[in-house]
Structure 1
């Protein structure tokens, strides 16, 4: 079914507290208005009339550039005048459904649009609504009586009607400012269906509503784990790099870069948590560019990849397996170095050390082993 939509975004937002009008406040990284406009476009709206104030018209065109069928219209001092301006800007046959929606209800889902349109087949109009779940009281500072909530509904938007019928109902309206389009159509004798709305379609009205909306706007997140293992052979030298800290020693770890096994293991753990392969894919040992390179470069690269995907590090846990050197005297410096490379608090970095009691290649002091586990949070796939 083809349809058009009118989004009303011309109100003064007086109850929302100081700041921009509600349609222009940031929500999840984009203005509130963009949420419902893009929802209607994704649902296949043939025409989309956005009604806003004269000083915001160009901003609306810029924000919504590229949406098919977009027309930006100047609104009026009252909501009813803004809706009428939006309806007048639409073309098409008079019986085409038009969905009128508040810009201040950003969390519009395709299923609600589909339900409202489907309900028009058996009625003169349809609105999204929710039954009242709370006890209702009448009073002013104290209870003067109770109200039976049976059969009471909380009206939401979108509200859908044939465009011609809604325009005619507005022209015939002679009462005070209507609360919504359904009231106008009721007065014209229309049969209006109530279809299940969505609790997330609450209207941004008060300052505290924006904090709740921001929590809903955040994308779903998931925790992922990755592990990294690295080992290097001991060779001649007078110091060793471990977790970004140089420790004086009677030997050095042999490797193409600075052979910092701790940072290598942490890098692989982060890459593994993201499904981004391993350190060798990103920094091939056959590439002379990385000869002698500080391993902080590799770990910082993994951290930057995570940040670019909207992720964050929850915790890093590294175990160094060696007989010598002693790690404990340098543990805090190592944690600080790792935290600095990745820009995270040191409380998220754990570094431990153990020995194999003289067993195996680490026990024979032929090499050092590093094992790391990373827990990260990423937007859900």
Structure 2
């Protein structure tokens, strides 16, 4: 059996007049949101990168380039759902994902269980959400942006000797 882990990170700038989306949830009481080509949900984006990294399928930029209008304004959970489809189509099973949000806002504690439920349903495997501040240090501490770091564990059944690969080798 192939067992792999992947790591993903994402960072977005906080911006006035933009809705706040984080870990698949909307935070309507926030006065700032995350600027980006999509909804700026750094937790979902970091999870996408962790899954793509673990499976060798690229990264968020390669899959959802900012020049692709199809993904403009897309919800982070929609991006995550698409990555899950790519990963499972390539024969991988997602075992779990963990994501940590780094920033002063939004406050996640009261909505952690809700975020975990939404992300677990999207991924089809357990998702753990944690959050931390940087005690007002650095760009996240000054309220200029929010970052997220994610890890993913995936498995795939080993191929029998002589079996055909799932996809043709690159030329």
Stretches of structure 2 lacking an aligned partner (at least 5 in a row): 160-171
Mapping of residues 88-237 of structure 1, within 5 Å? 221-237=1-17
State the TM-score, normalized to the length of structure 1: 0.40
Shift of 1:343: 2.5
Mean CA deviation greater in 273-282 or 231-240: 231-240
Shift of 1:297: 2.1
**Aligned residue among 9, 26, 34 for 1:253:** 34
**Aligned residue among 83, 88, 108 for 1:302:** 83
Q: CA RMSD in A?
A: 1.3
8 A Cα contact 1:309 1:378, kept in partner:
no
Shift of 1:280: 0.9
Aligned pair count reads: 158
CA–CA distance in 2 between the matches of 1:307 and 1:325? 31
Question: SS at 2:27's partner residue?
Answer: strand
Select the structure that is richer in helix: 1
8 A Cα contact 1:316 1:373, kept in partner:
yes
Ranges of 4+ aligned residues in structure 1 off by more than 3 Å: none
1:362 aligns with 2:143: no
Partner of 1:281: 62
Work out which of the two has the higher radius of gyration on C-alpha atoms and give 1 or 2.
1
Stretches of structure 1 lacking an aligned partner (at least 5 in a row): 1-220
Partner of 2:20: 240
CA–CA distance in 2 between the matches of 1:240 and 1:361? 18
State the TM-score, normalized to the length of structure 2: 0.88
Mapping of residues 336-355 of structure 1, within 5 Å? 336-344=117-125, 348-355=126-133
Where relative contact order (Cα < 8 A, 6+ residues apart) is larger, the structure is: 2
CA–CA distance in 2 between the matches of 1:326 and 1:239? 15
CA–CA distance in 2 between the matches of 1:296 and 1:323? 22
Question: SS at 1:376's partner residue?
Answer: strand
Shift of 1:337: 0.9
Partner of 1:374: 152
Shift of 1:308: 1.6
1:17-63 CA-to-partner distances (Å, cap 9, x unmatched) read xxxxxxxxxxxxxxxxxxxxxxxxxxxxxxxxxxxxxxxxxxxxxxx
Question: SS at 1:272's partner residue?
Answer: helix
